[in-house]
């Protein structure tokens, strides 16, 4: 079960103050809050999907948002993806495309609408890295019993070659993230004696995937520990240890994605409120 964020509404209210111009933008504070409190990235992504679905059910006539300036709900200078001349109809299209990319994958976005998802490249990069790490977790899980019996593990290249014959149905970030969390949990259950992993080389794994830490892992136990820590961070588990390094590329990406979706979730709330105001004024 993924941990829920108990004070998500408080964070949302803070963002609403930001967009109304009555509260300073706490970019650095937000990142620190994420690290200290272990907010769940998965929960933040699911909250965004939920509010965009709600937006879709409420905004039945998107044309009502045309020519309503985006400055009515936010300051464009605080966001690299929003231009001064954007109207709320454009923002509506942007959050819809981003939700599609997040929940279904790139192939579900129309070719002429790919530009509407401002962090598509970031999400695709994150998606590929999470799938790589999930595959490594499967490798460790599959070798757990073999290691106990023989003190050896299957060569990674052999495991990889065999696994390539199976097609993965996972095509979206949200599905890949849930699969990663599931596989890490299964890996933890399978590995009864983690210390045995200290004698296993990771040379082949390093060639397959660059790990999200400044120094390459020296053995399979380091990889095991790193994957557990990353899972805990992604689900907001307070048991996450000190392996999280904000200077590491993947960890930077997690923080950037978390910040983006927190901001756009709150902005979508504002968008819905502005649409209701437009309809009532007719």
Encode pLDDT of 148-182 as tens digits: 999 899 999 899 888 875 656 778 999 999 999 99
Which range of 22-26, 105-109, 119-123, 160-164 scores highest in mean pLDDT? It is 119-123
pLDDT class of 137 with cuts at 50, 70, 90: very high
Contact predicate 29/37, CB 8 Å: no
Q: Is the pLDDT of residue 122 over 50?
A: yes
pLDDT class of 139 with cuts at 50, 70, 90: very high
Q: Is the pLDDT of residue 228 over 60?
A: yes
Encode pLDDT of 124-135 as tens digits: 989 999 999 999
Q: Is the pLDDT of residue 214 over 80?
A: no
Encode pLDDT of 61-89 as tens digits: 999 999 999 999 998 888 889 887 899 99
> How confident is the model at residue 65, as a pLDDT?
94
**Average pLDDT score over residue span 242-259:** 74
> How confident is the model at residue 10, as a pLDDT?
47
**What's the longest Cα–Cα distance across the chain?**
76
Contact predicate 8/140, CB 8 Å: no
pLDDT class of 247 with cuts at 50, 70, 90: low
Which range of 49-53, 103-107, 245-249 scores highest in mean pLDDT? It is 49-53
DSSP 87: B
CA-to-CA distance for 268 and 118, rounded, in angstroms? 15
> How confident is the model at residue 114, as a pLDDT?
67
Q: Kindly report the pTM of this predicted structure.
A: 0.80
Averaged confidence pLDDT in the chain:
80
């Amino acid at each position: 079960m993924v941990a829920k964020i108990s004070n998500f509404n408080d964070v949302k209210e803070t963002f609403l103050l930001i967009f109304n111009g009555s509260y300073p933008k706490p970019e650095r504070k937000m990142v620190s809050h994420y690290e200290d409190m272990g907010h769940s990235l998965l929960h933040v992504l699911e909250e965004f999907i939920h509010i965009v679905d709600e937006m879709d059910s409420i905004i039945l006539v998107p044309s009502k948002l045309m020519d309503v300036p985006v400055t009515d709900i936010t300051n464009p200078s605080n966001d690299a993806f929003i231009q001064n001349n954007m109207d709320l109809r454009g923002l509506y299209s942007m959050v819809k495309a981003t939700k599609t990319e997040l929940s279904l994958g790139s192939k579900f976005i129309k070719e002429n609408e790919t530009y509407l998802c401002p962090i598509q490249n970031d999400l695709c990069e994150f998606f590929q890295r999470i799938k790589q790490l999930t595959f490594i977790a499967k490798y460790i899980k599959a070798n757990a019993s073999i290691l106990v019996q023989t003190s050896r593990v299957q060569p990674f290249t052999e495991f990889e070659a065999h696994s390539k014959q199976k097609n993965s149905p996972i095509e979206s970030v949200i599905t890949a993230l849930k699969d990663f969390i599931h596989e890490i949990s299964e890996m933890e259950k399978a590995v009864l004696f983690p210390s045995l992993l200290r004698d296993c080389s990771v040379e082949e794994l390093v060639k397959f995937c660059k790990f999200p830490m400044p120094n390459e892992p020296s053995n399979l136990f380091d990889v095991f520990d790193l994957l557990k820590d990353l899972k805990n961070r992604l689900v907001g588990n307070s048991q996450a240890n000190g392996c999280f390094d904000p200077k590491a590329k993947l960890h930077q990406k997690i923080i950037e994605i978390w910040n983006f979706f927190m901001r756009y979730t709150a902005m979508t709330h504002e968008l819905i409120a502005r649409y209701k105001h437009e309809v009532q004024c007719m």
